[in-house]
Chains A and B, each alone.
Chain A
Amino acid sequence: MWLELVDNLIIIASLLTPLALLTLGATMLLTRYRSEKLVHVLLSSTFLGSLILVLGAGFGLFMSGESSRLIDLGPLIQLGSYHLELVLLVDPLSIIMLTLNFILCGVVGYFSSKYLHRDEGYYRFFMMMLFLATGVELAVIAAGFDVMFIGWELLGISSALLVAFFYRRQAPTQNAFWTYGIYRLTDIGLLSAIIALHHATDDVLMSNLGLLGSSSLVVGALFIFGAMGKGGLFPFTGWLPRAMEGPTSSSAIFYGALSVHMSPFLLLRLSPLIEAHKELQIAIAALGVLTLLHASMVGRVQTDAKSTMAYASAAQIGIMWVWVALGWYELTIIHMVGHAIARSWQILRAPSFIQERRILERMQGARVNHDRHVERFMPAKLERFLYHIALQRWFTDDFLLVVVHTLKKGVLWINSADTQLFQALTGSDKPATSTEEESSVEIQAKKSTSKA
């Protein structure tokens, strides 16, 4: 009886946000009707309603005595013998994450409805927020990695679009592109892992992780790579401060609260796989410690409020990875929830930095010592070197750029070699005006414009 209640409540709860999304989307696309009040009402009712339903479901799960519950909603895709099932997993972790999702989205949404009043992107912001909420929702109640991946992608796109919120300036769009680039790069790992899983076990349910045989180590490594992007693990931490281009409240909800925590969440879902391999545990712990060191050191030299908070966030995610590696899952969950609340609250108050500092100083009766702390004890030359490295963020972004450019050069070389081979084989003429350095891309472009 309880389990039926859980099923129904979860299904309704998970439908509310997509419904709100479709309503708002349809209003924006098909009509000229714009009302801030409508958005406000729609969002508060959706999030509040979902929250109540989720709490009810949690209660139901608790009363039933079960530790988890699978809800099979039938096939998502069916093509001949190939089918993917839409299965939902309700367990304490998903209930907690859903609760966190709806509480924080609700509170930050309420905040944003006043904060973004009269901004030209008001409706666009809330569309993105609904995409976020849907994405998180799907990702946390998915029993299979396919549905999780859908949520994961929704999260990625809405993140990037919110970084580019002030698209009329160049910097936000460039930084959004960078953020999205990192996401896609690590998604290669995630997608490869899912495909490998399906290949090995004929399905993508999370419970299938135990069925992986010899390929489990590789699959695990790929999954870990996939989790590195969203969490800002080293060497991908550079996108977190860049993502502060969006409005304060979006920075709070995404990079303080929800989006970054998808990273340790994914690891928690991978726990059977991780437990099976010492190598994976070591890798995760190493990455976590490396991230902690990197983010702490670089965070200490940041001179603006939001960047400081971004790096603090990354450092904590690193620590959560270490907890997962050690197998301390309950601590990870407590840390995730606490951190999500504390950090989003801190970022929402980022503009108050100066005011809060002055209050602090009056409390102490003295200025805050912002000078070097432990660094004072280093020899001057070492301190200067480390400071410079920290300010350059350990050149992580720069090295990534170099890697990307090298790859691009390689691809273009392959392309031009291929074109030359083709032309040699088919005997077509090279254009007379081309120089050796013109890439084949440019040659193609010239050809097509001259035809047009």
Chain B
Amino acid sequence: MKKQPHTSLDEILEHASHLLPAQMPIERFVHHNTLHSFESLPFDEAVLAAKDLYDAQPYMDEPFYRKAYREGRITRDDLMDIIKRLELPDVTPVVSSQDILLNWMLHLPETDLSTGLDWLIHERKLLCDYPQDLDRHAAERLLEAGPSTRVLPTLWRAAGQHTETLAHIFQEKKTSPRIHLVLREHTGVDLDDTIHPELISACASYLDQGISHWSAPDREVGFFDYMLKHYSQTVIEPIHWRRTLRKLLRSYKNENLSAEDVIERCIDALGLEASREDFILQTLLALRGWAGMFSMIERRPDTAPMPSPPNARLIDFLAIRLAMEHAVLTSTLDLDLKHTQTFSHIFNNFNNFDNFKNSEGFKKTREIRTFEESKKERVEQQVSITQWILFHALLYNGIDSELFDHFTTSQRTAFFDMLATYHEIKRRELWQLAYERNYRVKLLDGLLLHQKHKTSHRSPKSAEVQIVMCIDDREESIRRHIEEIEPRYETLGAGGFFGVAMNFRALHSPHTAPLCPPSVSPKHYIYEKLHGVSEAEPTALSNLYGQVHTRQGTTFSSGVLTSIMGVHKILPMMTRILAPRTHAKMFATPDKEVFSHTKTKLVILRETDELTPEGWHQGYTYEEMSEVIRLLLEDMGLVSNFAPLVAMVGHGSTSVNNPHGAGYGCGACGGGHGGPNGRAFAWMANQKEVRKLLKEKGITIPETTYFVGGYHNTTNNDVSFYDLDELPESQHERFAHLNEVLLKARQLDAHERCRRFNSAPLDITPEEALNHVEERSEDLAQPRPEYGHTANALCVVGEREWSRGLFLDRRAFLVSYSPDVDDAQGSILKRLLGSMGPVGAGINLEYYFSLVDNTRYGSGSKLPHNVSGMVGVMNGHRSDLRTGLPFQMVELHEPIRLIVLIEGTPEQVTRIVDSHPGLSTLVYNRWILAAVYDPKENRAWFLEPHGFEEHIVDEQTTHHRVFTKSADIYTGRRDLIQPATLSSLKHTHQKGGAHHVA
């Protein structure tokens, strides 16, 4: 975010649009770094810059970390390691700076005290007794100094003498380029609260894409002209400021002004002292959800639910917003619209402003305080807080007033500097580093020790079945279970779209969805059709059902009839709420009913060179198919030793009553589900012509190998396969065994998942667990159908060999990669990191920020969410659009940055990262944390700010747990579990025939 002066309005808006929430209409919900536009800054600077801009939290609050410390999630070692790295010079001979900082981190109290300082002092007996939790040395020093009743008050007074010097630390910068705060101080009128109901209603009606029965007329002229047209009409307007607004907009219409003209006028009328960029940005941020949606539809109309969305422009939004602000100001101050004084001039001379005292605004306020009085109160409060902090800063280090008096001037200055530097936010940054370090140490310890403990040192050379799943962290557990149940199977991980970036239309659906990462714009079109039928026709019955249900609105006939007959709904209502799973099995929802007996096919092969109306290619040619296959197989390192059966299993999620449903889907498929991708890939890979082309490119797939496409539903743990009618005879037995293995794996996976669900008892069996998760996916009352990417922390890129059998607690993205297939420059690794890195980073950072500040970065609790315009959710009746993840999705998450663990050497990885600009930004600015693992030497390195440091594990003191069954690791526990080894994965004989199973 470079601070170049942007002069033209377009440039300012362009810049501002990057700082608004970049969330697409909600059906396309995709995880992305909430602070994406700050990526050019280092992480710690970026979150602070964002804090100032968005008024949002940069890290979790100190009580969170202190609780983690008490529970052992952060250890003293973690803290000391982080503090040591700061290399603090000693400030006083009495106690080391490291101890000073440690004591501050553990003990300094909150500064967010709006009132009640006196009460706190009294309540905590601050001036009577020494605190219980003092450090031993500090306590000794204080007891030597004297009795608490004498020492403490003296210290308090001493602290009071230095508050002037320190007061600058705790200044609350509540200045804003907008006039909003000033207006509220002087008149009690809140500009935003007055405008927002009107503005939100206008935006919602303009952007609506499918909810209202009567959509707004005149939308084609653009939001600005639409508002002018509608508000210029003659109506009886009871509210004063809106009368002013109507006059204003009518005058704009008569003068034929454009949005740009209006913006200039309003800014002039304000008489700004601050910069235009800041002003416009803060004005847009006041209603950032809707502003962001305007901007999104302007830039990416293809993401809108309707094919031709309304003509939305951010500049129109800004013009209308400023016009409304102008109207409120004019009306509150009881001015004539043609007044010449600027508003800031008026407020600067407020006490002389006679006009105001007769106005509505004055009469609205119940208690008039002058600006000066309230300012004085704020300054007084700052001074007390400073005394409070300094008192504690000294107390917890056992420095009493006598000792402090003996400090030299330079020592005192150094002490104050240190106190100013390590203020609350800085301390929270250090806590965050300690919090992350703890996991990292456990992970790398576990990884290094795992190699010694696992009994299987080689993946089965010739696997029976290879199962390719998405890299998603939710797949980590089911892959582990599959490997545990059937060691002859091999699992691999690749981006869930499997390289098939397509625009996909499901059977009968009027919509096409792009099933690929959001950064990719797919060029191919694939659709699903009924097998044996030339064109897909909905049945007459389904058509009638649709007609009846859409008219269930507010019209007389349909409303009355449906209501009077409403009694019959009591049965489905009761069963669906009281017994969701049974209901789902008995009363299939209309679409399942209609489509359950259909056989469908995908149309993948290009039959005509004609482009679709949107400009896409119809399907793929064999050459294009072979490229798709080749790239993916090389990425995974699967270019030889193919198993007889290869399953390409995409994933997705189903839940009900969930507007954020796409958030649980496959991130690599843009929030959709990857079943069609797996299906398409499998079909392509089975084609003789494609295999011929692949052979020419160096990849030989044996004739005995067959690919099959499947779909794993991560919510109800279902796994199903496509096009089984084409499965060759020779594969039937193998496939049957695969299904048996998958059934057990699904149950065990559900069992592992259920430990995190409070409503599932700890002694649940795997069969019951599978029923439980099925029920959750169908339960309308369940705001937590699954936990999605909760607790994601790690991305492993390398051979499955060295992570196989390592219990990673569903926290790891697993990307298959083989250095043996790669060239000397690591081009495949570069390609992989370049595509999967941002996806993982996006998911991880979205979860991080939505948890750290669920109100500003996230969308709050799901409970009051109200779907608006088919594009987003509001809270309740009329509010800003909520962006980010809802609380129920992130509440169990651990806010740590993604550790990307790459197979290789530090030199190789450094070279690759340096050569990829996007990647190096993410890595060197520490948005993701890089780690390297060399399996040949069993050595691991972590990238600290100064460079790669090797991680050494102390085998004597580190306790690494080894289990024979997955279930033993987590049974009876609901918390997150550190990495452990599953020793039961044995290797098989090389030649076919007899085999050992665990």
- A-binding segment of B275-283, B339-347, B433-441, B572-580: B572-580
Judged by a CB distance under 8 angstroms, whether B918 is at the interface is no
Judged by a CB distance under 8 angstroms, whether B236 is at the interface is yes
Interface string of B232-250 (1 = CB under 8 A from A): 0101111100000000000
* A residues in contact with B779, CB < 8 Å: 114
Please determine whether A345 and B867 come into contact, CB atoms closer than 8 angstroms: no
Please determine whether B569 and A345 come into contact, CB atoms closer than 8 angstroms: yes
- A-binding segment of B330-338, B549-557, B733-741, B946-954: B549-557
Judged by a CB distance under 8 angstroms, whether A300 is at the interface is yes
In the complex, the chain A residue whose C-beta lies closest to that of B230 is: A388
Distance A337 CA – B229 CA, assembled complex (angstroms):
44
* B residues in contact with A389, CB < 8 Å: 235
Which chain B residues numbered 782 to 798 have a C-beta less than 8 Å away from chain A?
A: 782-784
Please determine whether B564 and A335 come into contact, CB atoms closer than 8 angstroms: yes
8 contacts between A and B (CB under 8 A): A114-B779, A166-B863, A244-B866, A305-B868, A315-B554, A338-B565, A342-B569, A365-B537
Max chain A C-beta neighbours (<10 A), residue from B358, B563, B759? B563
Judged by a CB distance under 8 angstroms, whether A242 is at the interface is yes
Please determine whether A300 and B239 come into contact, CB atoms closer than 8 angstroms: no
B205 touches which of A170, A303, A342 (Cβ 8 Å): A303
Please determine whether B555 and A316 come into contact, CB atoms closer than 8 angstroms: no
Please determine whether A398 and B239 come into contact, CB atoms closer than 8 angstroms: yes
Please determine whether B211 and A370 come into contact, CB atoms closer than 8 angstroms: yes
Please determine whether B553 and A398 come into contact, CB atoms closer than 8 angstroms: no
Please determine whether A304 and B868 come into contact, CB atoms closer than 8 angstroms: yes
Please determine whether A363 and B239 come into contact, CB atoms closer than 8 angstroms: no
Distance A334 CA – B862 CA, assembled complex (angstroms):
34
Please determine whether B510 and A367 come into contact, CB atoms closer than 8 angstroms: yes
A342 touches which of B218, B563, B759, B784 (Cβ 8 Å): B563
Which chain B residues numbered 563 to 620 have a C-beta less than 8 Å away from chain A?
A: 563-567, 569-570, 573-574, 577-578, 589-591, 594
Contact surface of A with B, Cβ cutoff 8 Å: 103, 107, 110-119, 166, 169-172, 175, 241-249, 292, 295-296, 299-308, 311-312, 315-316, 319, 331, 334-335, 337-345, 348-355, 357-373, 375, 380, 383-385, 387-392, 395, 398-399, 401-402, 435, 437, 439, 442, 445
Please determine whether A306 and B877 come into contact, CB atoms closer than 8 angstroms: yes
- A-binding segment of B179-187, B651-659, B708-716: B651-659
Query: Main secondary structure on chain A at its contact with chain B?
Result: helix
* B residues in contact with A383, CB < 8 Å: 217
**In the complex with contacts A244-B877, A345-B573, A365-B536, A338-B861 CB distance below 8 A:** no
Judged by a CB distance under 8 angstroms, whether B26 is at the interface is yes
Please determine whether A107 and B573 come into contact, CB atoms closer than 8 angstroms: yes
Please determine whether B550 and A339 come into contact, CB atoms closer than 8 angstroms: no
Please determine whether B877 and A247 come into contact, CB atoms closer than 8 angstroms: no
Interface string of B216-233 (1 = CB under 8 A from A): 111000000000011101
Max chain B C-beta neighbours (<10 A), residue from A242, A301, A385? A301
* A residues in contact with B218, CB < 8 Å: 384
* B residues in contact with A354, CB < 8 Å: 26-27, 659, 867, 870
Please determine whether A435 and B563 come into contact, CB atoms closer than 8 angstroms: no
With A107-B577, A361-B511 known, 18 other A-B pairs at CB within 8 A are: A111-B577, A111-B781, A117-B783, A119-B863, A245-B875, A300-B213, A316-B563, A343-B563, A345-B566, A348-B657, A353-B870, A362-B507, A363-B543, A363-B545, A365-B537, A375-B217, A384-B229, A402-B238
Distance A375 CA – B591 CA, assembled complex (angstroms):
31
**A323 CB to closest chain B CB, in angstroms?**
10
In the complex, the chain B residue whose C-beta lies closest to that of A172 is: B876
Please determine whether A247 and B864 come into contact, CB atoms closer than 8 angstroms: yes
Please determine whether B193 and A170 come into contact, CB atoms closer than 8 angstroms: yes
* B residues in contact with A369, CB < 8 Å: 550
**B247 CB to closest chain A CB, in angstroms?**
16
* A residues in contact with B363, CB < 8 Å: 437, 439
Please determine whether A352 and B780 come into contact, CB atoms closer than 8 angstroms: yes
**B774 CB to closest chain A CB, in angstroms?**
15
Distance A345 CA – B575 CA, assembled complex (angstroms):
12
**A290 CB to closest chain B CB, in angstroms?**
14
Please determine whether B783 and A110 come into contact, CB atoms closer than 8 angstroms: no
* A residues in contact with B781, CB < 8 Å: 110-115, 249
* B residues in contact with A175, CB < 8 Å: 876-877
Distance A340 CA – B570 CA, assembled complex (angstroms):
10
Question: Which 6 A-B residue pairings sit nearest by Cβ, starting from the closest?
Answer: A342-B566, A338-B566, A364-B546, A245-B876, A365-B538, A299-B554
Interface string of B147-187 (1 = CB under 8 A from A): 00000000000000000000000000000000000000000
* B residues in contact with A112, CB < 8 Å: 781
Judged by a CB distance under 8 angstroms, whether B201 is at the interface is yes
Please determine whether B233 and A380 come into contact, CB atoms closer than 8 angstroms: no
Judged by a CB distance under 8 angstroms, whether B357 is at the interface is yes
* B residues in contact with A114, CB < 8 Å: 759, 779, 781-783
Please determine whether A303 and B567 come into contact, CB atoms closer than 8 angstroms: no
Please determine whether A171 and B877 come into contact, CB atoms closer than 8 angstroms: yes
Distance A175 CA – B567 CA, assembled complex (angstroms):
31
Which chain B residues numbered 15 to 34 have a C-beta less than 8 Å away from chain A?
A: 26-27
In the complex, the chain A residue whose C-beta lies closest to that of B554 is: A299
Please determine whether B566 and A339 come into contact, CB atoms closer than 8 angstroms: yes
Max chain A C-beta neighbours (<10 A), residue from B366, B511, B877? B877
Please determine whether B211 and A398 come into contact, CB atoms closer than 8 angstroms: no
* A residues in contact with B537, CB < 8 Å: 365
Distance A428 CA – B543 CA, assembled complex (angstroms):
82
Max chain B C-beta neighbours (<10 A), residue from A116, A249, A364? A364
**A208 CB to closest chain B CB, in angstroms?**
33
**A359 CB to closest chain B CB, in angstroms?**
5
B869 touches which of A292, A304, A352 (Cβ 8 Å): A304
Please determine whether A384 and B863 come into contact, CB atoms closer than 8 angstroms: no
